[in-house]
Amino acid sequence: MRNFALFRGVGFCAVLISWYVSFYYNVIIGWTIYFMVSSMTSELPWVRCGNEWNTEHCWGGHNDTFNITHLPNNRTSPALEFFDRGVLELHLSKGFDDLGAPKWQLVLCVFSVFVILYFALFKGVKSSGKLRVLLNVPTNHENFLLILQIISPNAELSHVWHKNHVDFTNYANEDGTPYLFTRNDYYYKKDVSAGLYAKAEGYGKIWH
């Protein structure tokens, strides 16, 4: 980086973005743990109405015999009410300035996420690399099939281009304004290179 002063802050920005993403991404993983624990029952709590968090507008549709693809007017699904009212308890808030007290179940789930990350990373990138080998078996299998497709005589490079190319024309509304998830798509593609930065910094013996 000393030879390219213009890119001196790229590594710092990558760490800053990863630090920012880790806050809300770990919360999403905490929600996943909450859903996983809640699913350890004879019947999933977000399948039917009649729970303490459900309203009179909850409609599960289990007693109807006709086919329908949309909820009736002023009706909400039990899954939506479970997340909004049972997990996040949005009905208890008056607005963004009234967040309320932290829910101890969610705090415990998010704390468990940080504990898992600590034991996965406390020895540096070497221990995280061993963990990624186990967790990325489906991804590695997909990459292996992709390599076989590339080296095969009948390989279609158009599939490889489509898999690694972002067509920004698909991320726009009818009026031409881009969708919000275009930024998220950039962040998650950028995270691949950010991981390479962290790995290089962990093994490097020279200050770049």
pLDDT tens-digit series, residues 3-49: 666 667 777 777 788 788 778 888 888 999 999 999 898 888 888 88
- Residue 124, pLDDT above cutoff 60: yes
Within 10 Å of residue 190's Cβ, how many Cβ atoms?
15
pLDDT band at 109 (very low <50, low <70, confident <90, very high): very high
- Residue-wise pLDDT for 68-82, tens only, equals 555 556 788 888 899
Q: Is the dihedral of CA 31, 32, 33, 39 positive or negative?
A: positive
* pTM for the predicted model, two decimal places: 0.57
- 109: nearest Cα among 9, 169, 28, 182: 28
- Residue 202, pLDDT above cutoff 70: no
- 84: nearest Cα among 46, 113, 40: 46
CB 74 within 8 A of CB 57: yes
Q: Which residue has the tokens 């080296």?
A: 151
On the 0-12 / 13-18 / 19+ scale of CB atoms within 10 A, 74 is: exposed
